[in-house]
C-alpha cells in the first residue's frame, strides 16, 4: 500500500514515558471496557498471556462482556483447514494509531479479513512472510473508539528482525561504549 508505515517506537512502549512519540499504548478510561475486552482477554496458550492495555487499567480491561467470543477462543486455531492445533502463546495489546497496520519490523502478509459480530469494523488477519516463521496476528479496530487498534499476536518469531536490529544497532553500540567506559572508570577508581 502507499500509506507510509507508522514505525512503532518500541522504546516508548518499554519505557514509562515517551515524549514525541506518535504512537502510545492506549490508556483506557477508568470506566469498564467490556467492548474492548474481545482482544484483551487472551487465553493462555500454554506459555504466556500478556495484556497491555495502558499504564493503569490493564486489569479492568480484561472484563468480558460477551461469552460467545470466549467460546470461540477456546477452540483450536485450526479453523478452516486441519492445521496444527497446538496452542501458541498469544499476546494482545491496544494502540492508538490512524494506521491499522503497525510496522513492527517484521513483514506481514494479509491472508484474510472478516467482519466480526461485536465490532462494526472488519478484523484483518496477517501472517509473517518468513518461511521459517508462521507467526500470525490479527488487527481489529474498536467500534467504540475508532482511533484504537487492537493487535493480537499469536506465536513468537523464530528469526531475527532486520529492521529491529538495524534500529537497535546504534543503541547497542552506545551501550557497549558505555559499558567499556564504566569498566575503565572502575579500574581508575
Partner DNA sequence: CGTATTTGACCGGCGC
Partner DNA sequence: GCGCCGGTCAAATACG
Q: Where are the beta strands (DSSP E) in 37-141?
A: 49-52, 90-96, 102-103, 108-115, 122-128, 136-141
| CB closer to DNA, 54 vs 108 | 108
Q: Are 161 and 169 in contact (CB under 8 A)?
A: no
Strand 90-96, strand 148-154: pairing: antiparallel
Considering the complex, state which of residue 46 and residue 79 has its C-beta at the smaller distance from DNA. Answer: 79
Q: What secondary structure does DSSP assign to 164-178, as a single string? A: HHHHHHHHHHHHHHH
By CB under 7 A, residue 123 contacts DNA: yes
Q: How far apart are CA 140 and CA 115, in angstroms?
A: 10
The residue with cell 478510561 is: 29
Binding test (CB under 7 A) with DNA, winner from 91, 93, 106, 108: 108
Determine if residue 155 is left, alpha or beta; phi over 0 gives left, psi from -120 to 50 gives alpha, anything else beta: left
How many residues in the shown chain lie near DNA by CB under 7 A?
35
All three cell numbers of 82, joined, read: 486441519
Query: Which residue's CB is nearer to DNA, number 21 or number 65?
Result: 65
- In this chain, which stretch among 10-18, 88-96, 110-118, 157-165 interacts with DNA, using CB under 7 A? 110-118
In the window 53-92, what residues touch DNA (CB under 7 A)?
A: 68-69, 71-83
Region of 23-31, 47-55, 122-130, 156-164 interacting with DNA (CB under 7 A): 122-130
Binding of DNA by 4 (CB under 7 A): no
Residue 1 binds to DNA (criterion: CB under 7 A): yes
Which residues are at the interface with DNA (CB under 7 A)?
Answer: 1-2, 68-69, 71-83, 107-114, 116-118, 123-125, 127, 129, 136, 138
Amino acid at each position: 500500500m502507499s500509506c507510509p508505515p507508522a514505525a512503532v517506537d518500541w522504546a516508548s512502549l518499554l519505557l514509562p514515558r515517551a515524549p514525541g512519540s506518535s504512537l502510545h499504548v492506549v490508556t483506557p478510561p477508568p470506566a469498564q471496557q467490556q467492548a474492548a475486552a474481545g482482544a484483551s482477554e487472551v487465553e493462555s496458550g500454554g506459555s504466556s498471556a500478556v495484556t497491555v492495555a495502558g499504564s493503569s487499567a490493564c486489569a479492568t480491561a480484561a472484563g468480558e462482556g460477551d461469552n460467545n467470543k470466549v467460546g470461540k477462543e477456546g477452540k483450536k486455531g485450526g479453523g478452516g483447514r486441519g492445521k496444527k492445533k497446538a496452542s501458541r502463546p498469544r499476546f494482545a495489546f491496544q494502540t492508538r494509531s490512524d494506521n491499522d497496520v503497525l510496522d513492527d519490523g517484521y513483514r506481514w502478509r494479509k491472508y484474510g479479513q472478516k467482519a466480526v459480530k461485536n465490532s462494526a469494523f472488519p478484523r484483518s488477519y496477517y501472517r509473517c512472510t518468513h518461511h521459517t516463521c508462521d507467526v500470525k496476528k490479527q488487527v481489529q479496530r474498536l467500534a467504540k473508539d475508532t482511533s484504537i487498534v487492537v493487535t493480537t499476536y499469536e506465536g513468537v518469531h523464530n528469526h531475527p528482525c532486520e529492521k529491529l536490529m538495524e534500529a537497535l544497532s546504534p543503541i547497542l553500540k552506545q551501550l557497549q561504549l558505555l559499558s567499556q567506559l564504566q569498566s575503565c572508570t572502575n579500574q581508575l577508581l
